[in-house]
A = this chain, B = another copy of it.
């Protein structure tokens, strides 16, 4: 949004400061006004400030408020609070906030949501709270939500919206348009309508632009797209996201196991999935669970500790290798000085290859068909970079310790470790995927174990042989 637009905009209220600053963050000035209104219990002022905000902005605002301001904020807004904002919150913040709100207010707020948003909020609650809220909803809403909640976690059924438009194939375009003009209960937004038979089995779909461009007399059956494949409600959301992305989809039908239309998926929900899935790999590679920056420190510490202990195993293994060469090190302490270089260069190179491999597996760019091509490439890359580093490090070490042979030894060890780094960086994720373990979670421990063990063993072992040192 440009400055010019903002000023020209006819409905800018001069009393309300800009909500977001130039970098897109909530502005300090706006935040101060909101916090003052909360402290004063001034509901009218608060409504004026945030009444027209988009649910995403309200969500950001809630997260930015102090924990003890959040409950009062929602309660002051009362009926003007859009519960859709809750879907924008980190899970820990949302759960804490939900606990503070009275059950009736909750049921009422959730009842007004689109079904996908309602499910998103309900699914994190424990069974008791879920039931308490569902019980207060009208029968038809309750049945619909319960059906969505019965689908597995992370399935299309959980993501879908249960409001959609379905018409019979023998209707004309004109009839369809008239129906949409008259109908009361329509989804908030939609980009296609669906065509069903009397048993509600999906026959096809028609995008809205097609309807708008077709003469009123034309039958829906003539313009409907029969090729678009629906998703099964039980299908994993990651698969669904991959299809949306691959085929540039905007919305899609969801059917039950009998092929009956039960819901509609929209791209904005899929966008969140795509982002989450890409982030999951990043977090997993760094040994992070699904922690959020708003989690408290005990939860965070516990979730990170497991990873550290697993890595401790790797570190101890490396130490065991070194301890095989205690005599060698005692005889030539320069080896202790240089050995971390060999291990860490291998570790870095292995991590590079592994990251490429993990993502390529996730996006299906790497499979049995091109594995050999990629493997050959990795070996060549390792050799090339290995020789490059070997020369750099070899010369530097030889000069540092005035010992040409030491330079040669570290050079050879580097090349060996780089080759193992490339091989393990590629093959460990591939093998893990093959045995159905998520490569993003488990690869890096194995890869660094290989590069540490090989690095120390190659360097200290070759040195012991070359200089004829004791073990």
Contacts and interface: CB of A to CB of B under 8 A. Distances in A.
A308 interface: yes
Contact of A287 (B25, B209, B257, B351): B351
Nearest to A1: B229
A248 B275 contact: no
A185 interface: no
Interface residues of A, number: 133
How many monomers of this protein are in the complex? 2
A157 B97 CA distance: 41
Nearest to A351: B286
Interface stretch (A41-49, A142-150, A352-360, A461-469): A352-360
Contacts of A137: none
Contact of A340 (B64, B334, B343): B343
B322 A389 contact: no
A181 B173 CA distance: 12
A360 B1 contact: no
A10 interface: yes
Interface in A207-256: 207-209, 211-215, 226-227, 229-232, 239, 242-250, 255
A376 B301 CA distance: 13
A126 B278 CA distance: 32
A236 to B, nearest CB: 11
Contacts of A339: 336
Given A271-B244, A282-B359, A336-B336, A11 B227 contact: yes
Given A286-B355, A384-B297, A329 B336 contact: yes
Interface stretch (A71-79, A105-113, A127-135, A309-317): A309-317
Contact of A392 (B8, B298, B309, B333): B309
Interface of A: 1-2, 4-6, 8-11, 23-25, 28, 31, 54, 56, 63-64, 177, 180-181, 186, 189-191, 207-209, 211-215, 226-227, 229-232, 239, 242-250, 255, 257, 259, 267-268, 270-272, 274-275, 278-279, 281-283, 285-288, 291, 293, 296-298, 300-301, 304-305, 307-309, 311-312, 314-316, 318-319, 322-323, 326, 329-330, 333-334, 336-341, 343-345, 348-349, 351-352, 354-356, 359-360, 364-367, 369-370, 374, 376-377, 380-381, 384-385, 388-389, 392-393, 396, 448, 452, 456
